[in-house]
Chains A and B, each alone.
Chain A
Amino acid sequence: MINRTLAAFIKKELLQALRDPRMKFILFVAPIVQMTLFGVALSNEVKNIRLAARFDAKDMVMRQVYDRAIQGGWFVPARAAGAGTDDPFELIRSNRADAVLVPPPGGFTRALGRGGAPLQLLIDATDVNQAQAVEAYLRAIIQDVLKDDAGLAPPAPTIRLDVRVLFNPSLNTSLFMVPGVMTMLMVLTTLVLTQIAIVREKELGTFEMLISAPVSKAEVIFGKTLPYVIIGMANLPLLLLVAVFVFHVPIRGSLAALVLATLVFVCTTVAMGTLISTFCANQQQASMGGFLFIFPAIMFSGIIFPIENMPASLHWLSFIDPLAHYLTLLRNIMLKGGDARTLAWHIGVLAVLAIASGVASFRRFHTTLS
């Protein structure tokens, strides 16, 4: 299938892409740096919550709750409040604390002894996710304190759930986020580079010479796109090394399945990049077009927000989003070991998306200038 013309194209394209030291950096160094940075920084774990609590030195239970919260690592003490900040509401309003625990009058310990214990918790909910996490953390801490230290029976919930977290028992968010970051980096390199490579030929005027040469349309298209499939695949081992050795993400499934899934995904993004570039006349339009694709593609992929949280009427957007399928594949293969049904389904959908956008770009790819 690969004839001499096609080989010449691939060689030329790789030569151009790999000659420029800046390009080499973008292709091979930037993904590793970004992968490491994003893997560390992108976490939906809520940390460093500034907690304030006003209590009497003799209020032992209250002290234990506060100390345990700080020791747990999620909370940090709110900065020592100045004068006139006894008002817990004021602490939050003036952004000196994210959460304030207010014991009942007379202290929490005494209130518990009397049987009733209305402990007030004020949370800054300008960030809803954080507020929910804070509430859950503190509820758990208070229950623990009451049970372990104070020797009191915690208020019994009506239903007890025995939760077992599978595949990621410590709820390590990097296990969850690293496949997401990998997905984003893969689409960035392959889609954007393909677009720029095609549009640059139009801009340079070399396109006019190519289409007037005795070269078939298929040879031009495959010659321009296959190199970026190769480059995308070359990125996979680099990203996997970071995932495994820096973030200790396991690869429980087969490496072959991972490579196959990546190959199909990269073909899809390269085909979509080609399709977008058929609408663009210059590199500015290409970058804008790429951005218009990548931004919603990330949003609907489930990397940041779970697809389940989106209205059902918009789920089809995730269905046609190649990132959503690749993300599922990566998480499934790396964390769960990959079951044949899930793999076959998502790889199948990706292949259909690749073929559809491939056919569309083939139709739109003109070998005339008009």
Chain B
Amino acid sequence: MNGAVSISVREVCKSFRRFPALHGVSLEFEAGRMHGIIGPEGSGKTTLLRIMLGLLVPAQGRVEYFEDGRPADFEALRPSLAYMPQTQSLYPDLSIDEHLEFFRDLYSLPREIYARKREELLGVTRLAGFVDRPAGQLSGGMYKKLGLMCALLRSPRVMVLDEPTTGVDPISRRELWDLLYRLLDENVLILVTTAYLDEAERCSKVHLVELGRVVAAGEPRRLLEVEGARSFDELFMRRAAASAP
């Protein structure tokens, strides 16, 4: 449970019924950093994540996993990858506590570790007062926080979040980000996709994806300097204007 995980995506292509989603995408993700995959809707972000998690098989190219710099087998690493899908992924009729207990047993967590984790996560998310409320009756932000809690119950080494802040109010968005920063201290590789371009600056490294291609990658401020833009909004607007007929 201690090796730092890094992932390289090499020349990955994927299409759905002749509709191409990714064209030869290559990316490097390193442990202990917050990687943002930024791009407009429909740019292939979710497909990329699903391929990295083994939920989709790429048509071409491959994904390589490393543990402390040495190549590692995906199946061996799989239990330490946590994923929070973008779409609703909780049971509307089960309460917060019932979700946590279900995932506790799904991950075979020992009781005492579970008790400590539960306490800690409920404290950070400030959901302790709502443990009996069914997920279907939670607000957008609370719902996302519960999804994140379920994923974080098992101390993952790679945390993959697909648009965790979409549909979440500004205060909860901030709390979600704070929750993610705490993970960085534990040398976790975090991968976040977002369509909110202002959130790009919260990441330690950003990968700009557009129409199934990586168009730029690097530290957010450096990237803006190189591109000569003041913000990612501006950068994307300019690119959109340039590619328009």
Q: Which residue of chain B lies nearest to A205 when distances are taken between CB atoms in the complex? A: B87
B137 an interface residue at 8 Å Cβ cutoff?
no
Q: Given that A215-B106, A369-B50 are known contacts, is A206 also in contact with B91, CB under 8 Å in the complex? A: yes
B93 an interface residue at 8 Å Cβ cutoff?
yes
What is the CB-to-nearest-CB distance from B65 to chain A, in angstroms, rounded to a whole number?
Answer: 15
Q: Given that A4-B105, A369-B50 are known contacts, is A209 also in contact with B89, CB under 8 Å in the complex? A: yes
Q: Which of the residues B56, B78, B89, B102 comes within 8 Å of A205, measured between beta carbons?
A: B89
| A214 in contact with B98 (CB, 8 Å) | no
| A204 in contact with B91 (CB, 8 Å) | yes
Q: How far apart are the CA atoms of A66 and B10 in the complex, in Å?
A: 92
Which residues of B sit under 8 angstroms from A5, Cβ to Cβ? Answer: 105-106, 108
B179 an interface residue at 8 Å Cβ cutoff?
no
Q: How far apart are the CA atoms of A257 and B98 in the complex, in Å?
A: 38
| B50 in contact with A206 (CB, 8 Å) | no
Q: Which residue of chain B lies nearest to A210 when distances are taken between CB atoms in the complex? A: B106
A213 an interface residue at 8 Å Cβ cutoff?
yes
What is the CB-to-nearest-CB distance from B153 to chain A, in angstroms, rounded to a whole number?
Answer: 10
| B94 in contact with A208 (CB, 8 Å) | no
B226 an interface residue at 8 Å Cβ cutoff?
no
Which residues of B sit under 8 angstroms from A208, Cβ to Cβ? Answer: 55, 83, 85, 87, 89
Which residues of A sit under 8 angstroms from B104, Cβ to Cβ? Answer: 8
What is the CB-to-nearest-CB distance from A7 to chain B, in angstroms, rounded to a whole number?
Answer: 7
Q: How far apart are the CA atoms of A19 and B98 in the complex, in Å?
A: 12
What is the CB-to-nearest-CB distance from B158 to chain A, in angstroms, rounded to a whole number?
Answer: 11
Q: Which of the residues B85, B90, B107 comes within 8 Å of A214, measured between beta carbons?
A: B107
Which residues of B sit under 8 angstroms from A11, Cβ to Cβ? Answer: 102, 105
Q: Which of the residues B90, B93, B102 comes within 8 Å of A8, measured between beta carbons?
A: B102
Q: How far apart are the CA atoms of A58 and B87 in the complex, in Å?
A: 86
What is the CB-to-nearest-CB distance from B122 to chain A, in angstroms, rounded to a whole number?
Answer: 20
| B55 in contact with A369 (CB, 8 Å) | yes
| A16 in contact with B94 (CB, 8 Å) | yes
| B79 in contact with A214 (CB, 8 Å) | yes
Question: A1-36, CB under 8 A of B: which get 1 and which 0?
Answer: 000110111011001100110000000000000000
B138 an interface residue at 8 Å Cβ cutoff?
no
| B91 in contact with A368 (CB, 8 Å) | no
* Size of interface on A: residues with Cβ below 8 Å to B: 24
Q: How far apart are the CA atoms of A54 and B83 in the complex, in Å?
A: 84
| B105 in contact with A8 (CB, 8 Å) | yes
B57 an interface residue at 8 Å Cβ cutoff?
yes
Q: How far apart are the CA atoms of A369 and B89 in the complex, in Å?
A: 14
Q: Which residue of chain B lies nearest to A215 when distances are taken between CB atoms in the complex? A: B106
What is the CB-to-nearest-CB distance from B147 to chain A, in angstroms, rounded to a whole number?
Answer: 8
Q: Which of the residues B55, B57, B92, B98 comes within 8 Å of A12, measured between beta carbons?
A: B98
Q: How far apart are the CA atoms of A20 and B92 in the complex, in Å?
A: 12
What is the CB-to-nearest-CB distance from A215 to chain B, in angstroms, rounded to a whole number?
Answer: 6
What is the CB-to-nearest-CB distance from A290 to chain B, in angstroms, rounded to a whole number?
Answer: 22
Q: How far apart are the CA atoms of A369 and B98 in the complex, in Å?
A: 26
B54 an interface residue at 8 Å Cβ cutoff?
yes
A211 an interface residue at 8 Å Cβ cutoff?
yes
Question: A330-370, CB under 8 A of B: which get 1 and which 0?
Answer: 00000000000000000000000000000000000000111
Which residues of B sit under 8 angstroms from A370, Cβ to Cβ? Answer: 56-57
| A368 in contact with B88 (CB, 8 Å) | no
What is the CB-to-nearest-CB distance from A68 to chain B, in angstroms, rounded to a whole number?
Answer: 62
What is the CB-to-nearest-CB distance from B74 to chain A, in angstroms, rounded to a whole number?
Answer: 12
B81 an interface residue at 8 Å Cβ cutoff?
yes
B4 an interface residue at 8 Å Cβ cutoff?
no
Question: A189-229, CB under 8 A of B: which get 1 and which 0?
Answer: 00000000000000011101101111100000000000000
B53 an interface residue at 8 Å Cβ cutoff?
yes
What is the CB-to-nearest-CB distance from A22 to chain B, in angstroms, rounded to a whole number?
Answer: 11
In this complex, the member of A8, A11, A213 whose beta carbon has the largest number of chain B beta carbons within 10 angstroms is A213
Q: How far apart are the CA atoms of A208 and B90 in the complex, in Å?
A: 10
Q: How far apart are the CA atoms of A7 and B105 in the complex, in Å?
A: 8
11 further interface pairs, Cβ-Cβ under 8 Å (given A20-B93, A368-B54): A9-B106, A11-B105, A15-B94, A15-B98, A204-B91, A208-B83, A212-B53, A213-B106, A368-B55, A369-B55, A370-B57
The 8 nearest A-B residue pairs measured at CB: A8-B105, A214-B79, A205-B87, A212-B83, A205-B89, A209-B89, A208-B85, A12-B102
Q: Point out residues on B near A: beta carbons under 8 Å.
A: 50, 53-57, 78-79, 81, 83-85, 87-94, 98, 101-108, 150
